[in-house]
């Protein structure tokens, strides 16, 4: 099947970027920030294999009018002698090569082909067998799930920070409460009246004569502040001194 005419090409010339540096870095990061080791389908029936930070030792020309790294890979399908293309992140340009050798004769990576910021790509047309296709689909789902996991990891970290902050705040409030209760109960006498705890704190007594209450001759009463230890509230109380008993009343 004849190939379409190759795209317009310009001679290799440094310092002549086709796209901005920002686009070049963005495209590189999109592919190589989390590199994958299997083919990726970039068009129906067309698959690309990315090799991050690699480029061939020899290249031919720059491919004009390439806005993305996928378009750079697809450009190779329109060039008769193209074996692979590579993307240069520092200027966002695409180049094609008629060589695809990235390794030495012993199979080890060639140091001459390691170029940080470049992405070498080989393209294959035609669907793979069922098992490989299933692997590709599985990898796509894995990428989605990994993104979800990262999202919830960030949420968990944020929640943990909030829990720690609220715990510290709660501890501070408990300490303040304990300090206040200690101050309030200093020099106080605790009483149990009607099943509840009360603390009567010392202060200058105020004597006040009262009339007869409930038929009992009341001699006098002593006014003082009392603290409801269960409700955490104050009230003014008095002891009624009678010939028969002393009764605490809340006012």
At 188 the pLDDT is 60
Res. 251: pLDDT tops 70: no
Biggest distance spanned by C-alpha atoms of the chain: 124
pLDDT (0 to 100) of residue 209: 43
The pLDDT tens digits of the residues spanning 93-138 come to 999 998 877 766 666 777 678 889 999 999 988 765 666 667 777 8
Contacts of 38 (CB under 8 A, 6+ apart): 49, 135, 136, 139
Query: What's the rounded Cα separation, in Å, for the pair 5 and 165?
Result: 65
pLDDT tens per residue, range 196-236: 555 555 444 444 444 444 444 444 444 444 444 445 454 54
Backbone angles phi, psi at 228, to 5 degrees: -75, 105
CA 64, CA 7: separation in Å to the nearest integer? 7
Question: What is the reported pLDDT for 9?
Answer: 38
Residue 69 confidence (pLDDT) above 90: yes
Residues 46 and 123 sit within 8 Å (Cβ to Cβ): yes
Q: What are the tokens at 72? A: 């750079």
Q: Between 128 and 244, where is the model more confident? A: 128
Query: Per residue in 43-69, is it b (16+ CB within 10 Å) or e — as a string?
Result: eeebbbbbbbbbbbeebbbbbeebebb
How confident is the model at residue 189, as a pLDDT? 56
The mean pLDDT value for 145-150 works out to 85
Note whether 227 and 234 are within 8 A (CB).
Answer: yes
Give the integer Cα–Cα distance in Å for 136 and 41: 8
How many CB atoms are located within 10 Å of the residue 219 CB?
Answer: 12
In sequence order, what are the residues at sequence separation of 6 or more whose Cβ sits closer than 8 angstroms to the Cβ of residue 62? 9, 10, 11, 12, 13, 18, 93, 94, 95
């Amino acid at each position: 099947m004849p190939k379409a005419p190759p795209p317009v090409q310009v001679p290799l010339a440094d310092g002549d970027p086709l796209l901005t540096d920002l686009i070049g870095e963005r495209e590189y990061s999109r592919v190589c920030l989390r590199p994958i080791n299997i083919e990726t389908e970039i068009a129906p029936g067309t698959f690309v294999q990315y090799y991050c930070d690699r480029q061939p030792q020899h290249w031919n020309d720059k491919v004009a009018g390439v806005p993305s790294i996928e378009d750079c890979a697809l450009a190779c399908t329109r060039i008769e002698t193209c074996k692979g293309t590579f993307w240069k992140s520092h200027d966002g340009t695409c180049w094609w090569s008629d060589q695809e050798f990235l390794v030495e004769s012993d199979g080890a990576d060639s140091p001459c082909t390691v170029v940080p910021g470049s992405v070498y790509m080989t393209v294959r047309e035609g669907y793979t067998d069922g098992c490989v296709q299933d692997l590709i689909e599985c990898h796509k789902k894995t990428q989605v799930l990994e993104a979800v996991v990262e999202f919830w990891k960030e949420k968990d970290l944020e929640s943990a920070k909030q829990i720690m902050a609220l715990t510290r705040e709660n501890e501070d409030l408990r300490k303040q409460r304990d300090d206040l209760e200690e101050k309030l109960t200093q020099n106080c006498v605790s009483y149990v009246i009607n099943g509840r705890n009360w603390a009567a704190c010392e202060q200058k007594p105020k004597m006040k004569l009262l009339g007869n209450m409930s038929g009992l001759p009341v001699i006098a009463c002593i006014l003082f502040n009392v603290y409801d230890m269960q409700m955490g509230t104050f009230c003014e109380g008095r002891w009624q001194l009678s010939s028969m008993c002393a009764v605490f009343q809340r006012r």
